[in-house]
Amino acid sequence: MTALTGAGPAALAVLEARIAHGRECLIDRFDDWVPPAKGRDCDVVIVGGGQSGLAAAFGLMRMGINRVRVLDAATAGGEGPWVRFARMLTLRSPKWLWGPELGIPDLSFRAWCEAAHGPAFYAAIAKIPKDLWMDYLVWFRRVVGVTVENEATVRGIEPDAGGLRVAVTRGGLEQWLATRKVVLATGMDGCGKPALPAQLTAGLAPGTFAHTLDAIDFPALKGRRVAVLGAASSAFDNASTALEHGAAEVRLYCRHTTIARHNPNMSLVYPGSLQAFSDLDDGLRWEVMRHVFARASAPTRETLNRAVRQPGFRLVLGAPWQRLAAQDEGIAITTPAGTWSADFVIFGTGFAPDLASRPELATCADLIALWRDRYHPPPALASEAVGAYPYLGPGYEFLERTPATAAWLRDVHCFNYGATPSHGISVGGNPAMRFGVPRLVHAIVRDFMRADVEHHRRRMMSPPEPELDEGEWLGPWASAG
């Protein structure tokens, strides 16, 4: 095939032709082999059109599961966090890590970036600008042929006679989609909600505080005093964004006397852990996750430097928030280090696992097995946080809390951050997709084979197309006896 030259539309066209030819050479997409199920609109509904949802859909298509619907609540081009609440300048991970390309080099970010912007541009960036990553995902979706149905909000999942049905709201109208499988590719908060400390927010007026997950009107903070609680990367990102929009001063409060220097998740990012964490025994998985969840995560160097170089930034260490109180001149923040008044407060306090808070799971959350239902650690290793996450099967499937009460939950696959205690760092982030997507796809292929076993028994034992025509083997060279 023709090599890439230059950058821009012509180089992209060459790359896309090369991708098409390479996938044709590999026979990278098979015809449907799953028999159509009566009364089903599709075989799989994927909730979430961000990078995990796209990779999952691509992986299924490569295995000949093509009746897939991908739904996303965002408008087109707004899927995932990148242009909504991810306020970093670049991705956290190195530019060379794997992504949704699933082992096809020409579908990688590097291949796209060098074609679209030139090899020199790619060489010059240390980490991927987040807006550029979104551009890549939009391109990836188009090239691999994944269609995303936007502005489609999933409101519930429940069993029916033929499998599952999914309540979807689009344009103010609700419809039900009948499917056999659901994949929840719903990101960091896919099994919970923003962790907002109720004891601090109880006395605050709406519009005076937000979580880092929220849509925040940063231009409205021009000339204002902003306080941020938390010292992980997202807290620093929001502090920087407020200052870049003209905030007069931003104080970031950390409860510890020092900033964390390590990201505990990175200890799990190597092939053994990414591939086989879910095969470890429950006790070890619990111990590792308790260790990870109990430790603060360091901001990246780029994130820290972005904040501290701005003159209006202040870092307050050893200052957990004890009380917030509305007053005439703003919000009084009381800490062991003293009291300060702010006009607006941002909570960089992460996410809390809570299945019932998710609209798609609200009606079935009490049926789903959690870690605290399946494993009881020794007292020294107790962890409320780990215990609140779903206890998943080997294919990311939900399991029923009480035997013989909700077997249908096995057809709902939790392919979001909620899978972390069961599967380690195998969902969401770029290093994970190369390992997590094949495991998810294998589970769905396996379940469809088992569910339609009689169909496949007949197919596997039926005569294939003949290699020879009738009598083709006859001739003077053939004789009886």
For residues 127-154, average pLDDT: 96
For residues 455-477, average pLDDT: 89
Are 449 and 303 found together in one domain? no
Task: For residue 472, tell me if it sits in a domain.
Answer: no
Residue 5 pLDDT more than 70?
no
pLDDT of residue 92: 86
pLDDT of residue 241: 98
- In this prediction, residue 89 has a pLDDT band, given cuts at 50, 70 and 90, of very high
pLDDT of residue 101: 94
pLDDT of residue 3: 54
What percent of the chain lies above the pLDDT cut of 90?
83
pLDDT of residue 6: 65
- In this prediction, residue 4 has a pLDDT band, given cuts at 50, 70 and 90, of low
| 50: number of Cβ within 10 Å | 23
What is the span of the domain harbouring residue 400? 9-191+353-453
DSSP string for 373-442: HH----GGG--HHHHTSB---TTSB--BSSTTS-GGGGGEEE-SGGGHHHH-S-SSSHHHHHHHHHHHHH
Q: Is the dihedral of CA 265, 270, 273, 276 positive or negative?
A: positive
Rounded Cα gap, residues 219 and 379, in angstroms: 49
Residue 147 pLDDT more than 60?
yes
Are 434 and 319 found together in one domain? no
- In this prediction, residue 1 has a pLDDT band, given cuts at 50, 70 and 90, of very low
Are 307 and 432 found together in one domain? no
Task: For residue 100, tell me if it sits in a domain.
Answer: yes
Residue 243 pLDDT more than 70?
yes
The closest alpha carbon to 354, from 193, 119, 160, belongs to: 193
Task: For residue 142, tell me if it sits in a domain.
Answer: yes
- In this prediction, residue 474 has a pLDDT band, given cuts at 50, 70 and 90, of confident
pLDDT of residue 329: 83
Ranges 265-274, 317-326, 359-368, 377-386: which has the least confidence? 265-274
Residue 435 corresponds to which tokens in the numbers above? 């390992």
Are 134 and 13 found together in one domain? yes
Task: For residue 428, tell me if it sits in a domain.
Answer: yes
Are 131 and 230 found together in one domain? no
Task: For residue 424, tell me if it sits in a domain.
Answer: yes
Are 345 and 366 found together in one domain? no
pLDDT of residue 477: 85
Are 205 and 161 found together in one domain? no
Task: For residue 175, tell me if it sits in a domain.
Answer: yes
Name the domain count of the chain: 2
Are 62 and 206 found together in one domain? no
Residue 2 pLDDT more than 70?
no
Residue 244 corresponds to which tokens in the numbers above? 């870049």
User: Domain ends where: 286, 316, 349?
Assistant: 349
pLDDT of residue 301: 92
Q: What CATH number does residue 310 fall under?
A: 3.50.50.60
Are 38 and 185 found together in one domain? yes
- Tokens 């990836």 found at: 140
What backbone phi and psi angles, to 5 degrees, belong to 324? -120, 135
Q: Are 80 and 187 in contact (CB under 8 A)?
A: yes
Instruction: Give the pairing of strands 163-170 and 152-160.
Output: antiparallel
Are 115 and 230 found together in one domain? no
pLDDT of residue 28: 75
Are 149 and 174 found together in one domain? yes
Model confidence over 408-432: pLDDT tens digits? 999 999 999 999 999 998 787 777 8
Averaged confidence pLDDT in the chain: 93
DSSP string for 224-254: -EEEEE--SHHHHHHHHHHHHTT-SEEEEE-
Residue 31 pLDDT more than 90?
no
Grouping H, G, I as helix, E, B as strand and the rest as coil, residue 352 is strand
Are 120 and 234 found together in one domain? no
- 474 compared with 410, residue with greater pLDDT: 410
| 323: number of Cβ within 10 Å | 12
pLDDT of residue 432: 81
Residue 479 pLDDT more than 70?
yes
Task: For residue 272, tell me if it sits in a domain.
Answer: no
| 141: number of Cβ within 10 Å | 22
